[in-house]
Amino acid sequence: MREKRPIIALDFPNAESVKAFLKLFPAEEKLFVKIGMELYYSAGPDIVRYVKDLGHSVFLDLKLHDIPNTVKSAMAVLAELGVDMANVHAAGGVEMMKAAREGLGQGPKLLAVTQLTSTSEEQMRADQNIQTTLAESVSHYAQKTNLAGLDGIVCSAHEVVAIKQVLGEEFLCLTPGIRPIGSSEGDQKRVVTPNQARSIGSDYIVVGRPITQAQDPLNAYYAVYKSWNDLDV
């Protein structure tokens, strides 16, 4: 099986810090990076073009959620930028997710966020008036995501086995909340190692601070890479 790249969360405040970070890697090392709201709103589409021009792959994590027509047009813009992966909130509904797919086209991967992992079951019941378990809500949204023709969901590694049981192995699970052995958990709870995520069946892992804030980001990246691909360290 082909080796898989861990996705590095480029949670930096501006383009300068991203450029400095990427310079730490050899030019031939083609990365898969995640650009989230903070960086995108600060540096704009130019940062996506910059990263793509270096030959890296981009997951643009903007979690779109609006009326179908607006999401479709926005996704068409992101497709023009050449993103490799984008996402929406499943709460926007099947029609919105189908529109997102139409706008983005079939090439890039399209994922949905079900319940944010920062949402507790109590909050879901009180704030969203969804009177069921969190697991049931995640599974429900995952099924709607599949129905809409998306590729998969963003979820906790702890949800992967149950999701794959319902939707099959082909349905993609991208999991953040990854910590290499010995690194600080930060504000993440219930973390797993890259190797555990692999055993659980995650298709993609997102790793931020254990790489971006490391003393030696290049070596931290290689260690995560090896653990994720189950290579001898």
Phi, psi of 49 (to 5 degrees): -60, -40
Helix axes 121-128, 134-147, angle to 10 degrees: 70
Mode of pairing for the β-strands spanning 152-154 and 172-175? parallel
Q: Is 151 in the site for ligand C5P (CB under 6 A)?
A: no
Q: Least distance (Å) from ligand C5P to the CB of residue 12?
A: 11
Q: Is 142 in the site for ligand C5P (CB under 6 A)?
A: no
Of 5 and 72, which CB lies nearer to ligand C5P in the complex structure?
5
Rounded (to 5) percent helix, strand, coil in the chain: 45, 15, 35
Is residue 226 among the annotated active site residues?
no
Is 2 marked as binding a ligand?
A: no
Binding mask 159-188 for ligand C5P (x = CB under 6 A): -----------------xx--------x-x
Q: Is 223 in the site for ligand C5P (CB under 6 A)?
A: no
Binding mask 35-74 for ligand C5P (x = CB under 6 A): -x--------------------------------------
CA gap 29, 31 in Å, rounded: 6
CA gap 167, 37 in Å, rounded: 29
Of 98 and 140, which CB lies nearer to ligand C5P in the complex structure?
140
19, 221 contact by CB (below 8 A): no
CA distances from 121 to 34, 144, 154, 226 (A): 27, 20, 18, 35
Binding site for ligand C5P (CB under 6 A): 9, 11, 36, 117, 154, 176-177, 186, 188, 206-209
Residues assigned a catalytic role: 63
Binding-site sequence positions for substrate: 11, 34, 61-70, 117, 179, 188, 208-209
